[in-house]
Amino acid sequence: MRNPFVIHEIPVDGVFCNRQKELKDLVNFAKNGINVVLYSPRRYGKTSLVKRVQHLIQKEGFLTVYCDLFGVTSVEDIATKISKSLYKIVYSNEKLLNKFMRLIASFKPTIQPDPSGGVTISVTKSTNLYGLDLLEDVLESVSKIVNDNELKLHIAFDEFQEITEIDNSLQIEAILRRYIQTFNISVMFVGSRRRILLDMFSNIKRPFYQSANLYELKALPYDELKDFIKKQFKQNGKTFPESLIDNILEVTKCHPYYSQKYCYYVFDLAENKVDEKVLKIAFNEMLLSEKPIYEAVIQGLSSKQIQLLRAIAIEPTKSPFAVEYMRKYNLGSISAIQNSIKKLQSLDLIEKKDSKLWMLVDPILEIWLKEF
């Protein structure tokens, strides 16, 4: 029996829960040339959704470019990634490929078949330009291509906030903004480090200030997710009693990735009908498989930051500066806490929820930290 639960990015023709309104909104924005910032905590389904949006608008004649900026460390990296993602969409269309190769003169593509039957595309820099000049050159080329060919172009920049990690990020943002403004294209800026990403678009001192519509991707709606899980089990020959699905959703808080992952293990372990014992083992398996990720998160933090993170996991609080709280969890000075909050927020590990309580963003990391 095939396990219907997907724990990697969902392919555009894969089984997807809900997101109907989001798809409709995002397709409309794209078609109307409205730029959007799509943000959410990690693993909420942004990338899967963006690819779906692009798949839908391709049918309406859009050329769609997906550019993942994760891990960029320099302006050259950005220019390289943009060129590479452009070549990726036109490699199979000889006419367009030739046009692109003529116009994007600073990067030449190499296209090689890969063992899976697809192709691998790499680009090599073929100019003396470097730094910001190189980026401008690539963007100038894109604007020529778009204008000369009256292309309908849609670009999604995934993990867009990563640009801020580069030294001259304000200049990079200014150049990107200038070109995006003059292109006749629509752009989606996607990211999970919400504080940093939103600051890029809502801080008056930054080039992208108020240049795009802010669109939050929330956790999946409870009832839809519950139905989705029930149906996936039923269609694949297993029964998941409703009250036990409630137990799962209470733990995952309808987090798309964790709900899928938890169900993946439950489906794997259950004979025919899910029972509480299966839920318990499945949860432990999930925790075990996430452990290396959590350990990597912890390793990147100072001891005071870990102490605060753990304190908030154990006891969400309105006031981490309350003397008793500081003492109870050995949080150090007020300025140490202020710095820790800043860091943990920038990593999107903690947030102030509607109730004004500081809480962990990730519901399973929260459970793990309590036991750690």
Are the C-beta atoms of residues 217 and 38 closer than 8 Å to each other? yes
Rounded Cα distance, 29 and 36, in Å: 7
Reference 50, options 90, 105, 9, 91; nearest CA is 9
Q: In this chain, which stretch among 2-10, 56-64, 194-202, 284-292 interacts with ligand ATP, using CB under 6 A?
A: 2-10
Residue number of the CB closest to Mg ion reads 47
Q: Which residues from 291-330 bind ligand ATP, rule CB under 6 A?
A: none
322: left (phi over 0), alpha (psi -120 to 50) or beta: beta
Q: How far apart, in whole angstroms, are the C-alpha atoms of residue 213 and residue 35?
A: 6
**Window of 161-169, 241-249, 253-261, 359-367 that interacts with ligand ATP by CB under 6 A:** 253-261
Site string for ligand ATP, 31-70 (x = CB under 6 A): ---------x-xxxxxxx----------------------
Between residues 19 and 343, which has the closer beta carbon with respect to ligand ATP? 19
Q: Which stretch binds ligand ATP (CB under 6 A): 10-18, 89-97, 276-284, 303-311?
A: 10-18
Nearest residue to 253 (alpha-carbon basis) of 289, 226, 286: 226
**If DSSP codes are grouped into helix, strand and coil, which group holds residue 65?**
strand
- Complex with ligand ATP: residue 18 or 317, whichever CB lies closer: 18
In one-letter notation, the amino acid at residue 353 is K
Among 63, 59, 86, 81, residue whose Cα is nearest residue 71: 81
Buried b / exposed e along 88-119 (16+ C-beta atoms within 10 A): bbbeeeeebbebbeebbebbebeeeeeeeeee
The pattern of x and - marking residues 15 through 54 that bind Mg ion according to CB under 5 A reads --------------------------------x-------
At residue 256, what are phi and psi to the nearest 5 degrees?
-60, -50
> Closer CB to Mg ion, residue 47 or residue 85?
47
Stretch that binds ligand ATP, among 12-20, 108-116, 283-291, 314-322 (CB under 6 A): 12-20
Q: Smallest distance from the beta carbon of 253 to ligand ATP, in angstroms? A: 13
> How many whole angstroms separate alpha carbon 122 and alpha carbon 176?
23
Question: Is residue 252 part of the contact set for ligand ATP (CB under 6 A)?
Answer: no
Query: Can residue 83 be called a binding residue for ligand ATP (CB under 6 A)?
Result: no
Given ligand ATP, Mg ion, none, residue 7, with its beta carbon under 5 to 8 Å by kind, binds: ligand ATP
Measured from the CB atom, the residue of 5 and 66 that comes closer to Mg ion is 66
Residue closer to ligand ATP, measured from CB, 46 or 88 = 46
Which residues between 142 and 181 bind ligand ATP (CB under 6 A)?
Answer: none
Contact with ligand ATP (CB under 6 A) among 208, 240, 257, 267: 257
User: Taking the CB of residue 346, how many other CB atoms lie within 10 A of it?
Assistant: 15
Tokens 């962990």 -> residue: 360
Amino acid at 313: A
Q: Which residues of 190-202 are buried (b: 16+ CB within 10 A; e: fewer)?
A: bbbbbebbbbbbe
340 touches Mg ion by CB under 5 A: no
Binding site for Mg ion (CB under 5 A): 47
Binding site for ligand ATP (CB under 6 A): 6-10, 16-19, 40, 42-48, 192, 256-257, 260
